[in-house]
Amino acid sequence: MKKIGFIGVGVMGKPMAINLVKAGYEVAAFDVDGSALKAVSDAGARKGASIAGAVKGAEVIITMLPNSPEVEEVVLGEGGVIESCSKGQILIDMSSIAPLVSRKVAEELAKKGVEMLDAPVSGGQEKAESGTLAIMVGGKQQVFDQCRELLEVMGGSVTLVGDIGAGETTKLVNQVIVAINIAAVAEGLMLGKKAGVDPERIVSAIAGGLAGSQCLNDKAPRMLEGRYDPGFRMRLHVKDLTNVLETSRALHTAMPLAASVMEMMEALLADGKTEEDHGALALFYEKLNSFSLKKG
């Protein structure tokens, strides 16, 4: 499968599409943002004048969009993928959306003989650029096997976790664990520094033990430097936690820690921290304690 239609080439989609081009895939891209589309076109992708232009002739259609409403509109809406796709094509939605929406979209595409995988990613812009994203996939084994090679161009780990919707559910679990972990790092380091212990030495001491984590390794240095340029933007994590809490309510699942961290992030958005890295959860603790984690 070498012909790809790629819809949504923003912060994450752009490097993903470019990596496919570099790997020898024929990519027809479409995005409502002309500057994003130009960047992908400059890298060797063909510009699609519309969704239909990206879908026509593609063996696999990839969507990388902000949230559930955009996926529904782009795939099922007027002028959407469903109007231009045909039997035998495969749609891979790599957006982070609600699992129930993935199932709805898959059901509608199936009526046209189009298979679907939901394949959200984790790792942020840096790993999208390096092609080392973690990709969590829901769908049929046969369809996954057909698409695995191209997914591995974009991901360092590609795992089939279950049927349609399972990929999105796994991404929600990922985002819960990451959010709580980042908050725990900030809360713990705040205690340590207020007690007069060097936070850098704390991190060195605990990184090799049970408290060690990728979040500790990646986010603690940012907190201690006061550096919150985005790896993964705060507003996007709030979007994901919104999907988490909506899904948990539908399933009657109590998630008090996720809800608490969501409140922290909402407070930061209210303070204008929408584009900062989600590691800026530390700023919530700094404001609450009137004390800075920043070294020096």
Domain spans in the chain, listed from the N-terminal domain onward: 3-164, 169-289
pTM of this structure: 0.92
CATH superfamily of 3-164: NAD(P)-binding Rossmann-like Domain (3.40.50.720)
Distance CA 121, CA 64 (A): 10
Task: Identify the pLDDT of residue 231.
Answer: 83
| Closest CA relative to residue 120, chosen from 77, 70, 158, 147 | 158
CB 82 within 8 A of CB 107: no
Give tens-digit pLDDT for 122-165. Answer: 988 889 999 999 999 999 999 999 999 999 999 999 999 999 99
Task: Identify the pLDDT of residue 255.
Answer: 98
Distance CA 220, CA 91 (A): 38
Active-site residue identified among 14, 104, 127, 171: 171
User: What is the rounded average pLDDT of the residues 32-37?
Assistant: 89
Residues contacting residue 117 through CB under 8 Å, at least 6 positions apart: 90, 91, 92, 93, 137, 138, 139, 143, 144, 147, 164, 167
Same topology, domains 3-164 and 169-289? Answer is: no
Q: Is 70 exceeded by the pLDDT of residue 1? A: no
| Closest CA relative to residue 57, chosen from 28, 91, 100 | 28
User: What is the rounded average pLDDT of the residues 234-248?
Assistant: 95
Say whether 14 is catalytic: no
For the chain, the residue count is 296
- Two structure tokens written together for 191: 């205690």
Q: Is 80 exceeded by the pLDDT of residue 296? A: no
Work out the angle between the directed axes of helices 99-110 and 68-76 (0-180°, nearest 10): 10
User: What is the rounded average pLDDT of the residues 89-94?
Assistant: 98
- Two structure tokens written together for 200: 């850098």
CATH T-level assignment (fold) for domain 169-289: N-(1-d-carboxylethyl)-l-norvaline Dehydrogenase; domain 2 (1.10.1040)
